[in-house]
Amino acid sequence: MFATLSVACARALCLTLAIATVGVSLAYGSDADAGRSGEQTPGTDQIRLGTRQVELLVTKAPPRNGKYRTFTNTGSGSVRVSVATLNGGALTAGNERDGRPGYSIRTPRFNPSTDAPRAAVKITNATATDVLNPRSADFKFGADFVVDDPSWRTASGSTDNGDNLVQRGLYGDASQYKLQVDRDVATCRIKGDLGTVEVSSEVNIQSGRWYRVRCRRLSRSVTISVTSWRTNGTRHTDTDTRNGRTGDMTPNRPSWPFSVGGKLRAGGKVHPSTDQFNGRIDNVFLKIG
């Protein structure tokens, strides 16, 4: 239930997925068929990783039917970005934090039914090198977000009982890093070969309000910080830390995707129990090292 990506900084991998308003072109693939799982193919689209933080900049609304299919950025690296969907789900353009139209990711709205539309950004390695794997290095990741009301339900039969913001790996896997917003609480979960550390923010997340969440893993601790903006434009950040070792985070296989807005399976398909994020997402990032 629980993503600006950066890759490089010496051994440091710094990859940035950011939705912004400065120039870079978008490329679009084909739509997935409604009612069945599909991936909107990225073709040759890549975020390329280099010695500086790299951004994926969405500079205009999606074409024709209003759906984003794939995102392209310049840079120097080996990560592919596409959109995975289920039951006709789609990612569309939402407002930014300052209210300007477009240029944040609008995810599907809350729907508790088992056949509800689902969609998530899928980021995978483009080569045999797993640039999404922190191994034992320090790393941090996060995003800006605003959550809908309602955005979850725990009633029997609901498959949307959480809001997964960004993640790689599932709960029972060998490794996982995840940010989620469940029941108005932002939580970071880090799992490696030495153990699992989960830390929740004390901030009460309010629907319809923008927040910035960051998770940082060091050798012996995990910290989550949540920033909110006051009506006068100033911001306030709350930080919570939990101590513990998590160790090496090499996944079962390097094909595991890094997802934004919901859970994906190892092969990149949308997980039936998606924990679909319902709201808007911007400035997603992962920085290793």
Where do the DSSP E strands lie in the chain?
5-6, 13-17, 38-40, 79-86, 92-94, 104-106, 118-125, 139-147, 164-168, 176-182, 185-192, 195-200, 211-218, 221-229, 235-243, 258-260, 279-288
Which of 124, 140, 125 is closest to 83 using CA atoms? 124
Model confidence pLDDT, tens digit, residues 230-254:
888 899 999 999 999 999 999 998 8
What pLDDT was estimated at residue 96? 78
Specify the DSSP class assigned to residue 25: -
Percentage, residues of the chain above pLDDT 90: 44
- Quickly state the pLDDT bin for 213 (edges 50, 70, 90): very high
- Find tokens 């508790």 and name the residue: 112
| Amino acid identity for residue 232 in this structure | N
Amino acid at the residue 197:
V
pLDDT tens column, 124-170: 888 888 888 999 999 989 899 999 988 766 555 555 668 999 999 99
Q: Identify whether 251 is preceded by a cis peptide bond (ω within 30 of 0).
A: no
- Tell me the two tokens of residue 114: 């088992």
Say if domain 5-288 classifies as CATH 1.20.210.10.
no
Q: Average pLDDT over the chain, rounded to whole?
A: 77
More confident residue, 63 or 40: 63
The one-letter amino acid code at 176 reads Q
Assess whether pLDDT exceeds 60 at residue 57: no
Q: What is the pLDDT of residue 45?
A: 33
- The distance in angstroms from the start CA to the end CA of the chain is 25
Predicted structure pTM score: 0.81
| C-alpha–C-alpha distance, residues 161 and 63, integer Å | 31
Report yes or no: 40 and 85 within 8 Å, Cβ to Cβ. Answer: yes
Pairing outcome for strands 5-6 and 279-288: parallel
Residue predicted with more confidence, 33 or 232: 232
DSSP annotation of 47: B
pLDDT of 4 > 60? The answer is no
Least confident of 82-91, 99-108, 212-221: 99-108
Residue 32 has a pLDDT of: 33
Domain chopping of the chain, boundaries:
5-288
At position 69, the amino acid (one-letter code) is R
Residue 105: how many other CB atoms lie within 10 Å: 27
